[in-house]
């Protein structure tokens, strides 16, 4: 019987690549959910014939219902519709690929149905890591990382029989489009400059996060929760080529690295097929013989202050992650809307962090409140 998959955020970068993997590996798309992209959702529904298609936006969903009237795809709308897709009983697996905090409730809903979760939505773990992982344990939902660094760490840890042997996790970081620039040189960069990532083609929000290096900071917090490691045992290594996706250093100083072409379809596929590996997927082999030199270096925490702010938040724990993330989502939104400059993203995040109090051992309501207050501080 083929694996049946729900894609939360199907019209986005990860969602579309997930559908490519599903098609190539002979899996089934059981339910699709997205925000408002009717055209793309119609195309996906016609190609994959899911049982259910959900759009968050009510008007877009109404339009989709008309467009799909000649099919047997059931169209649902609003948050209830997205949650219905997340809980869809006809799927055994859910790819969590909604961007931002908006992905938290749908991910929790899929977890409570005990599904395998291919987790791309890192903001969910940054805001509510302990809560999400506890629910996953309680409901028997296996979380498999889709983020390439975390998939790499997962693979490097598969041979580890005793966690005490882990010295540290090393997350590689491309450095983004502005690597090597000074703060002065960054003050005038535009949205178009920031959206031009050297190695990866991704959604707008994560592309900006990759330019500020906030993405790497969020990933440190994500790794901290996923692998239950204190922040001081997680390091960031600049590696411009994105060939080594991350490493684990063990107590005997051996380092295990995972390599591959920079192609998200590989970690997506492994999250879907684990513990097996299958051939025939859409990703291309890595030609190490012709890939040139690999380089390594230190991140510049003074210029890329978002990374420093995230590392601080990782140490503070509690709702600090939700405050950092909420402020960052709001500030990136303002930057994309042309309302603030690139360097002001870090200013806004710093202001929110200094204004919103941190609550330790938070429940869901504390997390939602921290997110709200952080967004308000940015505004
Ligand atoms: P994207 O902007 O391309 O896609 C986001 C998707 O979420 C879209 O389908 C959109 O319709 C949907 N969405 C947004 N708000 C929604 C809502 N309220 N309800 C339902 N659907 C909603 O983003 P992306 O680049 O695909 O990233 C998705 C997630 O994966 C992010 O958390 C990102 O950090 C993570 N991630 C992405 C990559 C990558 O290469 N793109 C790599 C690692 C991790
Ligand atoms: Mg990543």
Mean per-residue pLDDT, 23-50: 98
Residue span(s) of the chain under CATH 1.10.1740.10 come to 151-373
CATH of domain 4-145: 3.40.50.720
Q: Is 199 in the pocket of ligand 1 (CB under 6 A)?
A: no
Residue 200 has pLDDT above 90, yes or no: no
Task: Assess whether the C-beta atom of 13 lies below 6 angstroms from ligand 1.
Answer: yes
pLDDT at 42: 98
Average pLDDT of 182-206? Answer: 92
Fold (topology level) of 151-373: Rna Polymerase Sigma Factor; Chain: A (1.10.1740)
Rounded to an integer, the average pLDDT of 192-217 is 94
**Burial state string for 50-71 with b = 16 or more CB within 10 A and e = fewer than 16:** bbbbbbbbeebbebbbebbeee
Q: Is the pLDDT of residue 197 over 90?
A: no
CA of 118 to the centre of ligand 1 (A): 13
* Dist CA 55 CA 32 (whole Å): 9
Which residues, listed in sequence order, are joined to residue 250 by a DSSP beta bridge? 166
Over residues 241-245, mean pLDDT: 98
Assess contact for 220 and 309: CB atoms under 8 A: no
Task: Tell me the average pLDDT across 273-296.
Answer: 96
pLDDT score recorded for residue 298: 98
11 lines ligand 1 (CB under 6 A): yes
Span 133-141, average pLDDT:
98
Among 56, 53, 137, residue whose Cα is nearest residue 90: 53
- The answer to whether the beta carbons of residues 328 and 351 sit under 8 Å apart is no
Which residue's CA lies nearest to atom 4 of ligand 1? 12
Residue ranges of the chain that CATH labels 3.40.50.720? 4-145
Q: How far apart are CA 11 and CA 91, in angstroms?
A: 18
The token pair at 244 is: 């080594």
With a 6 Å cutoff on the Cβ, whether 91 touches ligand 1 is no
Ligand 1, from 10, 36, 99: best to mutate by most atoms within 8 Å of Cβ? 99
pLDDT tops 80 at residue 1: no
Q: Are 194 and 211 in contact (CB under 8 A)?
A: yes
Confidence of residue 201 (pLDDT cuts 50, 70, 90): confident
Q: Does 341 have pLDDT greater than 80?
A: yes
Mean pLDDT, range 116-126, rounded to an integer: 98
- 21-40: b or e for each residue (b if 16 or more CB lie within 10 Å)? bbeebebbbbbbbbbbbbeb
Backbone angles phi, psi at 213, to 5 degrees: 70, 5
User: Could you tell me the two tokens for 338?
Assistant: 């042309």
pTM: 0.98
Mean confidence (pLDDT) of the chain: 97
Q: Is 14 in the pocket of ligand 1 (CB under 6 A)?
A: yes
Write out the E strands in 82-152.
Answer: 93-96, 116-119, 143-145
Substitution candidate for ligand 1 out of 6, 8, 9, 34 with most atoms within 8 A of CB? 9
3-state secondary structure of 161: coil
**Whole-angstrom Cα distance, residue 274 to residue 281?**
14
206 lines ligand 1 (CB under 6 A): yes
Q: What's the mean pLDDT in 268-295?
A: 96
Lowest-confidence region among 14-18, 105-109, 195-199, 261-265: 195-199
């Amino acid at each position: 019987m083929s694996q049946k998959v729900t894609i939360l955020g199907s019209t986005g970068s990860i969602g579309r690549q997930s559908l490519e993997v599903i098609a190539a590996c002979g899996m089934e798309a059981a339910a699709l959910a997205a925000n408002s992209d009717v055209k793309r959702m119609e195309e996906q529904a016609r190609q994959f014939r899911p049982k259910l298609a959900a759009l968050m936006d009510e008007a877009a969903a109404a339009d989709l219902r008309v467009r799909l009237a000649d099919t047997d795809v059931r169209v649902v709308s609003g948050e209830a519709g997205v949650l219905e897709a997340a809980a869809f009983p006809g799927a055994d697996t859910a790819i969590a690929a909604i961007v931002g905090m908006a992905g938290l409730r749908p991910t929790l809903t899929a977890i409570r149905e005990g599904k395998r979760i291919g987790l791309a939505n890192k903001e969910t773990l940054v805001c509510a890591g302990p809560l999400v992982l506890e629910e996953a344990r309680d409901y028997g939902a296996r979380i498999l990382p889709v983020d390439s660094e975390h998939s790499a760490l997962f693979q490097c840890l598969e041979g580890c029989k005793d966690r005490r042997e882990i010295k540290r996790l090393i997350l590689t970081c491309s450095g983004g489009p502005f690597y090597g620039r000074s703060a002065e040189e960054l003050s005038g960069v535009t949205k178009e400059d920031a959206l031009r990532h050297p190695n990866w083609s991704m959604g707008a929000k994560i592309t900006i996060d990759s330019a500020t290096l906030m993405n790497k900071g969020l990933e440190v917090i994500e790794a901290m929760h996923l692998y239950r490691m204190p922040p001081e045992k997680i390091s960031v290594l600049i590696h411009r080529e994105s060939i080594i996706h991350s490493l684990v250093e063990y107590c005997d100083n051996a380092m295990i690295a995972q390599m591959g072409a920079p192609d998200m379809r590989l970690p997506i596929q492994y999250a879907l097929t684990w513990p097996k590996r299958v051939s025939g997927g859409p990703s291309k082999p890595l030609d190490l013989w012709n890939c040139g030199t690999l380089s390594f270096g230190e991140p510049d925490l003074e210029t890329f202050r978002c990374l420093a702010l995230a590392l601080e938040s990782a140490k503070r724990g509690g709702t600090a992650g939700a405050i950092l993330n909420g402020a960052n989502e709001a500030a990136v939104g303002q930057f994309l809307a042309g309302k603030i400059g690139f360097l002001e993203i870090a200013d806004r995040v710093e202001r929110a962090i200094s204004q919103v109090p941190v609550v330790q051992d938070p429940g869901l309501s504390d997390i939602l409140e921290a997110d709200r207050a952080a967004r308000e501080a940015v505004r």
